Every structure is written in structure tokens, then in C-alpha cells.
Structure 1
């Protein structure tokens, strides 16, 4: 057994000391609330006044009531619809901008300025953006009404915020506008990590820009795409701030997402904490299942280790260039 030398300083303990604030904060403000939420999902905890909490005779009663509630079903449909409407164009535009910024043949000048401008909506607070767009489409006077009236598109002011389709579209557009720049930067970072020699070889073999992008770039950023899909899925299914602040989930619950539903159950007069907790756990399970499916579909198959995808893509590019 080795003995500690006299005068020797052990620094390992300082790592534990410096990590203590994070561990304590995590235990108090994340792990404990999660465990407590799971617990009250099986109880009868309701009401603003404190009272004894009991586990239900049927522990899954809250889950059954939430799943059968039309408001939750509608909120889940709204959440999925708004996420799809904003994410599909978001990822397509991000891929297009990624191809544009990373194409060495074009050698775009001032890329940094463009990237900052495209990313800027992401750093603005959601509350600010929600209030801004609410004012832009308010009734009877708003910039949207003024522009459409001046162009003769409409004859009188229109109340956009009472239309379900328009309101959903605005919320989806806000989400798209806020996050496409972030997605673009993530994809650009993935493309910049690809070995440049692969692109050089493809260009020498006569591969076109389209062939290089689809047969070399995309296969080699599969992991980055997986990260983007999963994080967007988690954020989209937990969407709360924009739908809540823009139009309070209206009109007629058209923009009420599952997170807004959970908030309303717990804090909007009903104080049904047990049902809110059950809905939270249901969404957790849904997100876990969807994430697992994405991981399975985009998993690295046998023989697809680092470099293998590049070689396969290069062979495809060569074949395409030789035609």
C-alpha cells in the first residue's frame, strides 16, 4: 500500500468541493420536483388549501382521466401539428443555408454577419416576441391590418386572432423564425467536421454540388441530424411560452399545447395538481418513445463507423460523376 508522501498535495478533493453547488442545486430543484411529480400523479392532491394527500385506490385513475379528456387530446393534436408545421420548413431551410455557407466554390464573403443576423431571433426572449407578434396582428388597428388595407387585400380590418388556422399558423411561424438560425449553426458545425479531403476528391471526380450534398454531406452529419431532431422534438412537445403568451392558448383552445394544458390544470383556478402531474408523466413517456424511435431509425448500423460512411459516400459521388 502506497503511503502519501509528506508535503504532497491531493487535488482530487477540490473537484468534489467545486461540484457540490451543482449537485445540491440539482437534487433540490430538479430531482426532488421530478420525484414529487411522479408521486402526486398517483394521489388525490387537489385544491389550493393544504390537506392530507392519499394514494388513490386506482393508482392510474388520474392517467385514465387525462387520456380520456377531450381537452388533453386536443392539446396533444395542437402540439404535434404546430411542431410539424414549424419544424419541417425549419430543417429544410437550415439545410439549404448550411449548404450555401459551407460550399467552398461560392466562397461567400461576410458569412459571420449573415450567421449572426439569422441566429439573432433565437436570443430574443420568448415573451418579447409573443407580445410583438400579438401587437402586429391585433384588432382593429395593427401593422398587418394597415398593410393589407393599403394594398386592397381586405376591405375592413380583420381580427386575425379569432381564427384558429391563422393563430396556429402564426405560432408555428414564430417557432420557425426563432429556431431555424440555431438549427443552421448546429448543422454547419457538423459539416465543418467532415474531412475536407472527401469533398476535394469528389470535386476532382466530377461530382456535382447536389451529389456532394446528398451523398457525402448528409450521410456524414447523421449524428448531428439526430441531435437536431431529438432536441427539436423535446422542445416542440414541451412548447409553452409562445402559445401561452401570444394568445393564452386561444382561440377556443386552438393553440393550447400539452404544456399549456398542464399549466391550466395546476394553476388556473382548478388546482388539479394530480392530473397535471399525470399529464406531465404521459408527455414524458411519449417523448421517450418518440426519441427512442428516432435513435433506432438513425442509429449507426454495423460497419458504419467513422470513415466508413465517408468512403461509401465518396464511391457514390464517383459513380455519379462518371455518368
Structure 2
């Protein structure tokens, strides 16, 4: 008689190892998320020492936000994100193309990678405090410009709309362009060298190779970069908060949506804060979906397009 061998099921150990993640996610993410959505339908705030609510008021918080300055702060957030992201993606693409081009034979690539990534390791709060000190009216930038004789009076960089927004955008650019460059370099290095060699044999120059080979093949990473940047832009808080002392000066032109959300949390208005959080979630989802649809290529080899063209020509021929 054959003895029945006892089978060992290793699958249960996998579930056991991932169980802590689901427990932590449930406690610290899912339950607070559900509570945030629930509180958005309630009147729940503190007036002095008196606590009001929670009283169910339906969609009143959402309607109140539509009548507030939420759209103005949303426009501020978009402008600040564009000021930082546009030069970030342009510089990152150029640096990624340069560092991965074997024909240029750039020396010290590892050193340059470390240098451009270093600002990403600095805390945003420390970065904002550094710029606040450097560009203040009594800061070193004004002192240098006055000693060179370029200006007579100190410039109030943070007293103008252009100056404040430019500083915030420049800081976001410095902090994140290194991370974007490293990701795009990894994407370009994942392209087969045979494709580049074939393009060289066909007589493609550097610009043609970049636009017709590199960009289409790194489209998934570009989509990922854009989506994560949009989410990060909507969550912009620490740099403008510290640089403007939480006021969004001048005239609240640098007040972001998360700063607006933080003001509701400071005033203990949890209902309005929850409604604004839901709005942010919906906006993030819509923008990410639009970006995904714009950057996702369902027909990389052009076969679907060619099939549609043949079908269209066949219908025309049958009509004749």
C-alpha cells in the first residue's frame, strides 16, 4: 500500500505575512476615510468653548464650499503647480536624454545623479525656511544685490504676487526635478539599444530619436510622473504654509486647497473639512483619469488604426 504523503500548503503563510498591512491600512486609512466622508454630511464645529453637533445637514457643507473662495484657492493651487512642474519635466527630460546617450560619453554620471537628487532629501519645511531667510528684505540675496549696486532699495520678494508664486514654484522645482530625472533615466535605460542603433543606421539625428523613439517608449513612466505630480500638487501645503506664515499672502494669492482645508481643521470645523476632502478626492480622480486617457496608448503598433482604415475603405467600396 502507498502511504499518503501529507501535503503542505504554503499559501497560508503568504496571507499571514500580508495580514499586518491590511490591519494597519484598516485602522489608519480606511476607517478615517469613511469617517471623513461621514462627517462631511454633518454640522460639526466648535464655537468658542461650545461644541456644535454632530447634526446631520445633508449636502449643506458641499453647497457652502461652492459659495466660498474654494475655486480661487483651486486656481492658486493650479498656478503654483504649473510654475513648478513645467520646468521640472522639461529639465528632467533633457537631463535624462543626455545622461543616457552613450554617444556623449559624459563622465561622472553617478556624481551628477547624487547632486541632482540631493534636494529631494531635504525636508520641505527646512527648504522653505531657508528660502524665507534668503529672500527676506534683510536676507543675503538683497544684501548681495545692493552691494553689487544693482538695486538701491531691498526687494520685497514675498510682498508681491509674482515674487511669492515664483519662489514657491522654484522650490517645488528644485525639490522634485531630481526624482523625476532619475525615474525618466531608468525608463530610457529600459529601451533596447538595438532600437537606437537601428535609428542611427537610418540616419536619425538626436532630436528625431528623442521625439519619435524615446518619448513614445517612455509614455507609461511619463503618465505615472504626471499623475503623481498632480496628486502632489493638489496636496501642496508645507512650502506655501511656511513661506507665507499660513496666510497665503499677498491677498491670499498663494493660498492652496490644503491650506484652506487646514484652516477648517484649526477652527475645529470637521464637517466643512470633510466635504473639502471629498471634493479634493473627486478632483484628483477626474484629473488622473483624464491624464491616463491622454497618455495611454491602446494601439502601440498601429494595427487597430490600420484595421479601422481598411474597414472604412471597404465600406466606401461597397457603397459604390
Partner Cα distance (1:4, 1:65) in 2: 70
Alignment correspondent of 1:179? 176
Alignment correspondent of 1:200? 197
Asked if residue 277 in structure 1 is aligned to residue 278 in structure 2, the reply is: no
User: What are the Cα deviations for residues 236-278 of structure 1, in whole angstroms up to 9, with x where unaligned?
Assistant: 11111111122223232221100010001111xx221111111
Alignment correspondent of 2:306? none
- Which residue among 92, 100, 110 is the counterpart of 1:102? 100
Alignment correspondent of 2:238? 241
Query: Aligned pair in 2 of structure 1 residues 295, 137: CA closer, same or farther (>3 Å)?
Result: same
Alignment correspondent of 1:298? 295
Partner Cα distance (2:96, 2:107) in 1: 15
Query: Aligned pair in 2 of structure 1 residues 207, 279: CA closer, same or farther (>3 Å)?
Result: same
Please give the secondary structure, in 2, of the residue aligned with 1:206. Answer: coil
State the 1:50 CA deviation: 5.3
State the 1:157 CA deviation: 2.1
Asked if residue 223 in structure 1 is aligned to residue 220 in structure 2, the reply is: yes
State the 1:107 CA deviation: 1.4
Please give the secondary structure, in 2, of the residue aligned with 1:46. Answer: strand
Asked if residue 79 in structure 1 is aligned to residue 77 in structure 2, the reply is: yes
Alignment correspondent of 1:315? none
State the 1:4 CA deviation: 8.0
Please give the secondary structure, in 2, of the residue aligned with 1:54. Answer: strand
State the 1:49 CA deviation: 5.6
Query: Aligned pair in 2 of structure 1 residues 46, 210: CA closer, same or farther (>3 Å)?
Result: same
Query: Aligned pair in 2 of structure 1 residues 4, 194: CA closer, same or farther (>3 Å)?
Result: farther
Alignment correspondent of 2:86? 88
State the 1:165 CA deviation: 1.6
User: What pairs up with 1:3-82 in 2 under 5 angstroms?
Assistant: 5-6=5-6, 8-47=7-46, 52-56=53-57, 59-70=58-69, 72-82=70-80
User: What are the Cα deviations for residues 149-169 of structure 1, in whole angstroms up to 9, with x where unaligned?
Assistant: 112222122322221220111
Alignment correspondent of 2:118? 120
State the 1:93 CA deviation: 0.5
User: What are the Cα deviations for residues 18-71 of structure 1, in whole angstroms up to 9, with x where unaligned?
Assistant: 222211110011111111111111111111765642221xx221111112212x
Asked if residue 167 in structure 1 is aligned to residue 172 in structure 2, the reply is: no
- Structure 1 residue runs of 5 or longer lacking an equivalent are 306-323
User: What pairs up with 1:203-214 in 2 under 5 angstroms?
Assistant: 203-214=200-211
Partner Cα distance (2:300, 2:220) in 1: 15
Alignment correspondent of 1:286? 283
Name the Cα RMSD after superposition: 2.0
- Structure 2 residue runs of 5 or longer lacking an equivalent are 303-320
Q: How many corresponding residue pairs?
A: 298
